[in-house]
Amino acid sequence: MNEVLLTIFLLLVLFALLGSGVWVAFSLLMVGMAGMALFSDAPLGQVMATTIWGASNSWALAALPLFIWMGEILFRSRLSEDMFTGLSPWMNRWPGRLLHVNIFGCGIFAAVSGSSAATAATIGKMSIPELSKRGYPEKLIIGTLAGSATLGLLIPPSIILIVYGVATEQSIARLFIAGVLPGLLLVALFVGYVGLWSLLNRRAIPPGEAGLPLLEKLRRSKRLIPVLALIAGVIGSIYAGIASPTDAAAVGVVLALLLSWFSGTLNRHSFLDGLMGATKTSAMIAFILAGAAFLTVAMGFTGIPKMLAAWIGEFHLSPYALLAALSLFFIVLGCFLDGISVVVLTTSVILPMIEQAGIDTLWFGIFVVIVVEMAQITPPVGFNLFVIQAMTGRNILRVAAAAVPFFLVLLLALVLIVVFPQIVTVLPDMMGR
């Protein structure tokens, strides 16, 4: 029981720091210092300096600011407008009609952004006024946007998968490829739910607009070509083995700048704003990762992860029972922290348990991301909910209620990858061969 009491004590210290408004990175560093000072004889200063430098001096981490900058550039471009124009003519005959533009728009932007909040803000900025004007149910407008924006965490290039890869020393390229099929599965499930709801509530969906000739549909769809080319360039180069994630991120930035320039939205002001936004976000994540790396090493010196893994092993939980317990734990934690913080906070303690249970750590990375996606639309700190609340002006509980069905769809996706793990592993295995 000593290890449990020790863990509870350090968790209470962590939540006390976070609750008092201390930055996440500082909270991680202080908990690590407390753990080492109280329960280890290791030289605190030397361990901290070496660990923080080692965590910051990682080449894999170089992909992070580049992908964030690519998303910032596209956030300030005409991308969402082009996607709405290109997608909407094809959705008129589908059950749910233009509501599917939210889902596919988020799926496409997720593949060039890597950020859930940026996806919600970019697509919502265009789709909310357009769908509201046409008379679509507000509940479905908000729900499809909240649920589909979580794809930004899963569909590569995903910022949180880079963080998980760095924290667990997994191949980021393999993690990216592992996220492709689960991402497509989620898109299909969201489309299926909206279609089913629309068939059961036909009167709630406004009539479709007059059909367009095929040539006009194709002409409008030409506006999708640049962004689809960008996705193919970034993800295709990684999958084909031509470029590492860092190389592909650099290519993505250049292509995003060209795309923004050709669309007429790149100027000195937007360029500097994008660069500054990417710098702030990257510095924040890098600082959190450095704090988490020190906490991981500090926990190693205290022996907590091994003791905790051994203690949980005494319960002889099956892998399914362990995953169910961890899902609940991550969702509760995600109610108070952002997704990246959840991943870096828990890695040092959770991974020994996962490895002991014989669960594939690559597969577990995708599992964690889907659970964190669920937390993104769970109050009180669902980041997507805050973004949508700011855009709609609606009460946070109303926004959260609209997102509940999509939370359940994410839960279904989680069950499917547990029952059929090949959904995650088949493409990385092919890549390995």
Distance CA 102, CA 84 (A): 9
Q: Is 95 exposed, middle or buried (0-12, 13-18, 19+ CB in 10 A)?
A: middle
Tokens 């359940």: give the residue.
408
Distance CA 295, CA 34 (A): 10
Distance CA 278, CA 66 (A): 8
Under 8 Å CB-to-CB from 94, ≥6 apart: which residues? 100, 195
* Higher pLDDT, residue 332 or 287: 287
Under 8 Å CB-to-CB from 169, ≥6 apart: which residues? none
* Higher pLDDT, residue 320 or 206: 320
Given a contact cutoff of 8 angstroms between Cβ atoms, the answer to whether 366 and 176 are in contact is no
Given a contact cutoff of 8 angstroms between Cβ atoms, the answer to whether 379 and 371 are in contact is no
Report the pLDDT averaged over residues 249-257: 85
The DSSP-derived string for 219-250 is HHHGGGHHHHHHHHHHHHHHHTTSS-HHHHHH
Assign 424 a pLDDT band (cuts: 50, 70, 90).
Answer: very high
What is the H or E stretch that residue 367 is in? helix 361-376
Per-residue pLDDT tens digits for 92-133:
777 777 788 888 888 877 777 666 777 777 777 777 877 888
Under 8 Å CB-to-CB from 41, ≥6 apart: which residues? none
Distance CA 326, CA 330 (A): 6
The domain tally of the chain equals 1
User: Residue 152 belongs to what domain range?
Assistant: 2-16+23-432
Per-residue pLDDT tens digits for 298-315:
877 777 666 665 666 677
- pLDDT at position 328, please? 83
Per-residue pLDDT tens digits for 340-356:
777 877 776 788 778 87
pTM above 0.75, yes or no: no
Distance CA 98, CA 198 (A): 11
Given a contact cutoff of 8 angstroms between Cβ atoms, the answer to whether 87 and 220 are in contact is no
Per-residue pLDDT tens digits for 355-381:
878 889 899 999 998 988 888 787 655
